[in-house]
Amino acid sequence: MYVSTWEKLKEELSSRFCEGSFVFTSLHIEEEIKSDHYAQEVENMLQSLKTMGYKLLVDVSPRTLQALSLNSFEQLVHTYHIDVLRADFGFTLEDLIKLSQSVSLCVNASMNEAGLQTLIKKAKFPIVAMHNFYPRVETGLDLSQFNEKNKPYNAMNIPVFAFIPSDIMKRGPIHEGLPTCEVHRDGSLLKAVVELKQNGVDGVVVGDGVCSEKMTQLCQTFLQDEVLSLPIQVDSKFEFLYNQVMTIRSDSPSAVCRCLESRLYATAGQTIEPFNCISRHKGSITMDNKKYLRYSGEIQILKQDFKADERVNVIGKILDHTLLDLISPGMKVKFTRGEQE
């Protein structure tokens, strides 16, 4: 969030709030600090965000103090109740060590390991790390490169933040999204969030501003509850599956995701009759019928095609195939009612 976008987006930010959420902002955008009313605009924005309940992660540079007529960054932190200060450009290691005595610091995720180790040893408050976002197409990080950069922070239990674009707006001047990883510039944002989490990220920031309300809820569910929401369509006989949470069995093979709790439907006394025993395609949701004896009631999500089997009912399908490869053994998934495009 920025001073220049605050008035436009503040109502949406209020509706997206959930406990523990941060807002990231920068207090050294050149075209913003030239405003005669910049200090008052900053105060209005930060006070309003605090009133909503957000924590503040604020990016600063040495010129921030002049723009806000303040004497020190300690005064900035105290005046605006900042939770985490990102002091990246224009600061020496000695500057960071001094600041770390009065506030939690956010370092650039490319910081050299020797400097990071020194800072951690001397810091009074917790340290977090944040990646950059990349406005220009083709300049975002590769996932493998991203994973390697996160390993030292993960090993030291330092929380890592990274960026995704928005699904409803693209910030200028390039207007092509603000992701950390290039592969996330287009496509499913939920997939992007899952991949970031699987590659060592603790917090996800929407670079362009805000996501749609629906996407915000899906992403928050995964990040906070570790439940992957899967939009599905099922036959009317099986609509009881909507909003059910299933655990993928830890011994599931690569081709199928076996739902741990599903056979309880049969053991509870329900007889699963043969129904729609057709060819099974990637993304199909199946339920074994009574002809599969003790397996009757087992629900599977298929990651590849299989031929028809009179013992297996095809009861529905996953609507977003990009999520299939992200489902892993031990993961919890939630079947949500999806809309066919």
Distance CA 239, CA 337 (A): 9
What order of strands is seen across the sheet that includes strand 203-206?
Answer: 22-26, 55-60, 84-87, 104-108, 127-130, 160-164, 203-206
Give the model's pLDDT for residue 57.
98
Q: In the chain, which ranges are continuous DSSP H helix?
A: 3-16, 30-33, 38-52, 62-68, 73-80, 93-99, 113-122, 143-155, 189-198, 213-225, 264-267
Give the model's pLDDT for residue 267.
58
**Coil/strand/helix, residue 105:** strand
Q: What is the pLDDT of residues 64-86, one digit of tens each?
A: 999 999 999 999 999 999 999 99
Report, in angstroms and rounded to the nearest whole number, the Rg of the chain calculated over CA atoms.
Answer: 24
Mean pLDDT of 154-182: 96
Distance CA 206, CA 177 (A): 9
Which domains does the chain possess?
A: 3-226 (3.20.20.70), 230-337 (2.40.100.10)
Phi, psi of 66 (to 5 degrees): -65, -40
Q: What is the pLDDT of residues 192-236, one digit of tens each?
A: 999 999 999 999 999 999 999 999 999 999 998 999 999 999 999
The pLDDT confidence band at residue 132, using thresholds 50, 70 and 90, is: very high
Mean pLDDT of 134-148: 97
Give the model's pLDDT for residue 210.
95
Mean pLDDT of 289-305: 95
User: How many other C-beta atoms can be found within 10 angstroms of the C-beta atom of residue 310?
Assistant: 10
The pLDDT confidence band at residue 90, using thresholds 50, 70 and 90, is: confident
DSSP string, 11-31: HHHHHH--TT-EEEEES--HH
Give the model's pLDDT for residue 295.
92
Give the model's pLDDT for residue 99.
96
Mean pLDDT of 88-102: 93
User: How many other C-beta atoms can be found within 10 angstroms of the C-beta atom of residue 142?
Assistant: 11
Distance CA 64, CA 27 (A): 6
Give the model's pLDDT for residue 339.
74
| Percentage of residues of the chain with pLDDT beyond 90 | 89
What length does the chain have? 341
Give this prediction's pTM: 0.90
Mean pLDDT over the full length of the chain = 94
